[in-house]
Amino acid sequence: MLSGEIQIRVRYAETDRMGLLHHANYLVYFEQARTELLRQYGASYKDLEDQGYYLVIAKVEIKYKSPAYYDDVLTIRTTVVRTTPVRIEHRYEVFREGVLICEGMTTLACVDKQGRLQAMPRWLMEAK
């Protein structure tokens, strides 16, 4: 399975009054990790969109185990766990100093410019 890791430092603007990483920012981090995984494979979302393929979020799941704080350095491991002709599923694991603090899953659907489901490019379906 295609997998990769990135590191992100929690910025002050991403935290709440308690100094915790706001829960919504995990989705932003997941997107950044997905984007970098695709780039690692030699492509980008811009490449896909320029070819008329748009990947939209169809489903998100997040399980928070422990909070992240301002200035923490987080490692996000992203793995493609399943592909179908029109969908791709990613698993995310967020670590702080080697300890798993968050898990997530996303399902992205491939659509055209009008928002209709379409088959993904073959090379993306075959990414392993």
Domains parsed from the chain with CATH numbers = 3-125 (3.10.129.10)
pLDDT score at 128:
58
Handedness of CA 92, 94, 98, 99 (dihedral sign): negative
The active-site residue out of 16, 47, 71, 112 is: 16
DSSP code at position 75: E
Instruction: List per-residue pLDDT tens for the chain, 128 residues long.
Output: 799 999 999 999 999 999 999 999 999 999 999 999 999 988 899 999 999 999 999 999 999 999 999 999 999 999 999 999 999 999 999 999 999 999 999 999 999 999 999 999 988 877 65
**What is d(CA 53, CA 120) in angstroms, rounded to the nearest whole number?**
7
Q: What is the CA radius of gyration of the chain?
A: 15
Active-site residue, 16 included = yes
Report how far apart, in Å, the C-alpha atoms of 117 and of each of 35, 58, 107, 122 are. 21, 11, 13, 15
pTM equals 0.93
